[in-house]
């Protein structure tokens, strides 16, 4: 179980292949169940991942990215069948501890930004990816532009993604009441100012606590206090982002997660890339329009075209809970790569936990 303690540092390492995420990925591979059906499904899925190479000339990047995404897909798919010899109770205890730590660190960082003019975090040299926020810290503080906490990660939205996974696992183990972890997760995501995080953690909070939302002393006493603290430091930023989103006045985050991906999906099919667009075409789009495509759901369609439909259906074929499928879709709204080593680990732990604690969410093939 010791490798799980590297989760807060999952974006750090000496190089990409000497990093926490590779260690966690290899460790998680040793914990999944393997049977003949999983092997057959993985072999079938490989056809949908690699068949696109018959439609255009491939380059080394296309091959490496597709192979990496296939490996990560295989891990997530296998996790829907459960883990073997895995102590989920210990995982939940650690994740509860992380929620407390995440809230405390986010609070310290927001205080440092607004009251001390300092950004308290690890140096950007420790990270192997997602360092855009960290690289702009000095200028943001000097000119008092928008700067958000990142906890132990490279950017706020990624921190919100990890927080969402951790919170969901904790609620899978026990969703019988509203407790301190609900309120700390809500407070933390508001401090992070991640719109995607606010949507998914709000969704999880309402779903798991729908039966007793207004019947607990924690909700009535502590929630207003935590929200007051959060909004005190945030000012009107969260309200402004939500207002812009629903009014159609997109900020950069909305542009790269909704507007640019929809536009590129349309261009992909209009240009005849029905089995997925080459990476070179996607890169040219990014250069031409200045917008990255940072939505994993749309990226799946862009990269695999109509083949994305069977890929997604195979991924969820054992899940019979609409809630869990919707949660996986919502998690695709964080950043652009769903089938990456780090996210595959976290999503696998999520699905493994739900399989363990809420087996009724999955198809039972052994009845």
- 304-319 pLDDT, tens digit per residue, is 999 999 999 999 999 9
Domain assignment of residue 350, yes or no: no
φ, ψ for residue 14 (rounded to 5)?
-80, -45
**Domain count of the fold of the chain:** 1
Domain assignment of residue 195, yes or no: yes
Domain assignment of residue 107, yes or no: yes
What average pLDDT does this structure show over 281-306?
80
Burial (CB count within 10 angstroms: exposed 0-12, middle 13-18, buried 19+), residue 254? middle
> What was the pLDDT predicted at 367?
46
> What was the pLDDT predicted at 243?
59
Range with the lowest mean pLDDT among 63-72, 76-85, 148-157, 357-366? 357-366
Domain assignment of residue 272, yes or no: no
What average pLDDT does this structure show over 85-97?
92
The first and second tokens of residue 143, run together, are 């000119």
The first and second tokens of residue 167, run together, are 């919170």
φ, ψ for residue 153 (rounded to 5)?
-115, -175
* Length of the chain measured in residues: 367
Q: What is the pLDDT of residues 42-66, one digit of tens each?
A: 999 999 998 887 766 777 788 888 9
**Closest by alpha carbon to 108, among 120, 95, 91?**
120
pLDDT greater at residue 256 or residue 201: 201
In which domain, by residue range, is 211 found? 88-245
Q: What percent of the chain has pLDDT over 70?
A: 83
Domain assignment of residue 163, yes or no: yes
Domain assignment of residue 94, yes or no: yes
The first and second tokens of residue 10, run together, are 């999952």
Q: Which residues contact 146 (CB under 8 A, 6 or more apart)?
A: 140, 237
Domain assignment of residue 69, yes or no: no
Domain assignment of residue 138, yes or no: yes
> What was the pLDDT predicted at 287?
76
> What was the pLDDT predicted at 143?
59
pTM: 0.88
Tell me the torsion sign for CA atoms 311, 281, 58, 15: negative
């Amino acid at each position: 179980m010791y490798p799980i303690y590297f989760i807060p540092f999952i974006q750090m390492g000496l190089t990409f292949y000497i990093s926490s995420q590779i260690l966690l990925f290899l460790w998680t591979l040793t914990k999944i169940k393997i049977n003949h059906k999983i092997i057959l499904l993985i072999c079938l899925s490989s056809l949908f991942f690699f068949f696109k190479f018959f439609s255009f000339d491939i380059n080394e990047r296309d091959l490496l990215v597709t192979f990496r995404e296939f490996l990560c897909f295989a891990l997530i798919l296998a996790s829907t069948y459960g883990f073997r010899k895995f102590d989920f109770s210990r995982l939940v205890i650690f994740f509860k501890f992380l929620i407390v730590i995440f809230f405390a660190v986010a609070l310290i960082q927001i205080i440092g930004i607004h009251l001390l003019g300092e950004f308290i975090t690890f140096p950007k040299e420790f990270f192997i990816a997602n360092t855009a926020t960290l690289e702009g810290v000095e200028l943001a503080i000097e000119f008092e532009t928008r700067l958000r906490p990142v906890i132990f990660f490279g950017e706020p939205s990624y921190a919100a993604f990890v927080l969402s996974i951790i919170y969901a696992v904790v609620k899978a183990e026990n969703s019988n009441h509203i407790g301190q972890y609900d309120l700390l997760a809500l407070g933390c995501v508001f401090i992070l100012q991640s719109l995607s995080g606010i949507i998914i953690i709000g969704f999880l909070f309402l779903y798991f606590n729908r039966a007793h939302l207004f019947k607990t002393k924690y909700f009535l006493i502590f929630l207003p206090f935590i929200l007051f603290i959060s909004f005190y430091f945030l000012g009107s930023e969260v309200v402004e982002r939500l207002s812009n989103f629903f009014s159609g006045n997109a900020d950069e985050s909305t542009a790269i997660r909704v507007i640019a991906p929809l536009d590129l999906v349309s261009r992909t099919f209009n240009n005849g890339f029905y089995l997925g667009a080459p990476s070179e075409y996607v890169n040219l789009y990014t250069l031409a329009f200045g917008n990255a495509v940072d939505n994993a759901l749309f990226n799946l369609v862009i990269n695999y075209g109509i083949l994305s439909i069977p890929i997604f259906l195979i991924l969820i074929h054992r899940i019979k809970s609409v809630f869990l499928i919707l949660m996986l879709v919502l998690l695709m709204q964080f950043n652009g790569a769903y089938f990456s080593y780090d996210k595959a680990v976290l999503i696998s732990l999520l699905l493994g936990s739900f399989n363990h604690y809420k087996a009724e969410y999955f198809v039972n093939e052994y009845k």
